[in-house]
Structure 1
Amino acid sequence: MKIVILDGFTANPGDLSWAELEALGQVTVYERTLPSETVARAAEADMVLTNKVVVSKEVMDQLPHLKYIGVLATGYNVVDVEAAHQRGIIVTNVPAYSTESVAQMVFAHLLTVTNRTEHYAQENRQGRWSRNADFCYWDFSHMELAGKTFGIVGLGNIGRRVAEIALAFGMKVKAVSSKTTLPAGIEKVSLEALLATADVLSLHCPLTDSTRHLINADTLAKMKSSAILINTGRGSLIDDQAVADALADGRLAAFCADVLTQEPPLADNPLLKLPNAFITPHIAWASKEARVRLIQVATNNVRAFLSGTPQNVV
Structure 2
Amino acid sequence: MSHKIVFLDRETLDANLRKPNFPHDYVEYAQSAPTDVVERLKGATIAITNKVPLREETLKQLPDLKLIAVAATGTDVIDKAYTTANGITVSNIRNYAFNTLPEHVIALIFALRRNLVNYVDSVRRGRWQEANQFCYFDYPIYDISGSTLGIIGYGALGKSIATRAEALGMKMLINDVVPGPNIVDIPTILREADVVTLNLPLTPQTKNLIGAKELASMKKTAILINTARGGIVDEQALADALRGGVIAGAGFDVLTVEPPKQGNILLDPTIPNLIVTPHVAWASKEAMQVLADQLVDNIDAFVAGAPRNLVTA
Scaled by the length of structure 2, the TM-score of the pair is 0.90
Amino acid at match of 1:111: F
SS at match of 2:190: helix
Aligned residue in 1 for 2:303: 306
Q: Deviations over 1:189-211 (max 9, x none)?
A: 22221111111111112222222
Deviates more, 1:126-135 or 1:96-105: 126-135
Alignment check: 8 A CA contact 2:110 2:144 kept: no
- CA 1:37–1:232 in 2, change beyond 3 Å: closer, same or farther? same
Cα distance between partner residues in 2 of 1:250 and 1:90: 47
1:285-308 Cα offsets, whole Å, 9 max, x none, are 111111101110000111111211
How many residue pairs get matched? 307
Asked whether the 8 Å contact 1:24–1:303 carries over to 2, the reply is: no
Aligned pair in 2 of structure 1 residues 9, 23: CA closer, same or farther (>3 Å)? farther
% same residue: 39
Correspondence for 2:65: 66
Supply the distance in 1 between the matched residues of 2:25 and 2:217 (Cα, whole angstroms): 55
1:279 alignment partner, one of 276, 286, 289 = 276
1:246 pairs, out of 224, 228, 241, with 241
The amino acid across from 1:2 in the alignment is K
- Which stretch shifts more, 252-261 or 136-145? 136-145
Q: Does 1:4 align with 2:1?
A: no
Matched with 2:48 is 49
Partner of 1:79: 78
* SS of residue paired to 1:233: coil
Find out whether 1:20 has 2:19 as its counterpart.
Answer: yes
1:101 counterpart = 2:96: no
Unpaired segments ≥5 residues, structure 2: none
Q: Does 1:203 align with 2:198?
A: yes
Q: Secondary structure at the match of 1:196?
A: helix
TM-superposed CA distance for 1:269, in Å, is: 2.5
- Is the 8 Å Cα contact of residues 8 and 29 (structure 1) preserved in structure 2? yes
Tell me the distance in 1 between the aligned counterparts of 2:65 and 2:177: 37
Deviations 1:148-178, CA, capped at 9 Å, x for gaps: 1111111111111111111111111101223
Query: Residue 275 of structure 1: CA displacement?
Result: 2.7
Matched, 1:88 2:87: yes
Q: CA deviation at 1:85?
A: 2.7
Instruction: Identify which of 247, 250, 257 aligns with 1:255.
Output: 250
Determine the C-alpha separation between the residues in 2 that align with 1:276 and 1:139: 13
Alpha-carbon deviations, 1:191-245, whole Å to 9, x = none? 2211111111111122222221111111112111111011111111111111111
102-111 or 263-272, which deviates more: 263-272
Q: What displacement does 1:120 show?
A: 4.9
Separation in structure 2 between the aligned mates of residue 253 and residue 116 of structure 1, nearest angstrom? 10
Alpha-carbon distance in structure 2 between the residues aligned to 1:212 and 1:63 = 30
Q: Kindly indicate whether the alpha-carbon contact (under 8 Å) linking 1:47 and 1:67 is maintained by their aligned counterparts in 2.
A: yes
Indicate if the aligned counterparts of 1:21 and 1:27 stay in contact, CA closer than 8 A.
Answer: no
Q: Which amino acid aligns with 2:153?
A: G
